[in-house]
Amino acid sequence: MSNRIRLQIARYRPEQESEATFDEYEVPYTKEMAVLDGLNFVKDRLDGTLAYRWSCRMGICGSCGMDVNGEPKLTCATFLTDYAPGPVRIAPLRNFPVIRDLIVDIGDFMRKLVKIKPWIVRAAEKPLAEGEYRQTPEELEEYKQFSMCINCMLCYAACPIYGLDPKFIGPAVIALAQRYNLDNRDEGSAERMSVLSEHDGIWGCTFVGECTTVCPKHVDPAGAIQRYKLTAAVESMKSFFAPRGA
């Protein structure tokens, strides 16, 4: 005898309609079931036309981000019992264009991510004979938190600035830039700064702080952004008063 809960799932079928609608499904659930399990039940047993993304179902791939009762969540890490007796309103992640049902286009994020060179940038690679790049535990601690990002984009869905101005580069991209800037093996800070210190880079952020609140991996992108603002502002003052390699 299982409990049942109603799911109100957003549907958007571009070949038939130009607005989103909500379809309702009732699913049985146990206390272990996540919202994703509910969606899988709907797709397997009730309505095979439902379209959504998911993969690892354990909070590491970042695919299953959706808007659950108004909050951006990873559906694999959100439990149906927390919404009992329901209904649970599932919509696509906010601030992104919707392709179909619960699937959004994340191309904007992918293009912005590449711009900040999310890899170790070095002027010259050390020859193999010299051995590995060494890093103490303290040096790892400097950037480790920002390396936890799984690119789930819940922070973009939560950021009102990104919603209002899609040119804003966004929280995850800045946090990932910091992950590399603060890595002692990296030498690419200057290159990243020219991208980040544009008007739609870090300066679009007004520290709402919702990105940090919704992040499932505790990356604290808001903190990364504010720290970087300080760094960039100091750099800007330095280059103004003592330009050219001071």
Q: Which residues of the chain form contacts with another protein (CB under 8 A)?
A: 12, 14-15, 18-20, 70, 94-95, 97-100, 105, 107-108, 138, 141, 160-161, 163-165, 193-195, 197-199, 203, 206-210, 212-213, 220, 222-223, 226-227, 229-230, 232-233, 235-237, 239
Tell me how far, at minimum, the Cβ of 29 lies from another protein, in Å. 26
| Separation CA 172–CA 211 (nearest Å) | 9
Looking at the Cβ atoms of 118 and 209, the one nearer to another protein is 209
Looking at the Cβ atoms of 107 and 133, the one nearer to another protein is 107
Looking at the Cβ atoms of 46 and 164, the one nearer to another protein is 164
**CA quadruple 133, 138, 142, 145: dihedral, nearest 10:** 100
Indicate the length of the chain as a whole number. 246
Tell me how far, at minimum, the Cβ of 147 lies from another protein, in Å. 16
| Separation CA 221–CA 172 (nearest Å) | 6
Looking at the Cβ atoms of 184 and 213, the one nearer to another protein is 213
CA 151 to chain centre: 4
Tell me how far, at minimum, the Cβ of 160 lies from another protein, in Å. 6
Tell me how far, at minimum, the Cβ of 41 lies from another protein, in Å. 25
Looking at the Cβ atoms of 82 and 165, the one nearer to another protein is 165
CA 203 to chain centre: 19
| Separation CA 188–CA 179 (nearest Å) | 11
Tell me how far, at minimum, the Cβ of 87 lies from another protein, in Å. 18
Report the 10 Å Cβ neighbour count for 237: 10
Looking at the Cβ atoms of 24 and 165, the one nearer to another protein is 165
DSSP 51: -
Q: Is 108 helix (H, G, I), strand (E, B) or coil?
A: helix
| Separation CA 202–CA 33 (nearest Å) | 39
Q: Report the Cα–Cα distance between both ends of the chain, in Å, rounded.
A: 73
Tell me how far, at minimum, the Cβ of 236 lies from another protein, in Å. 4
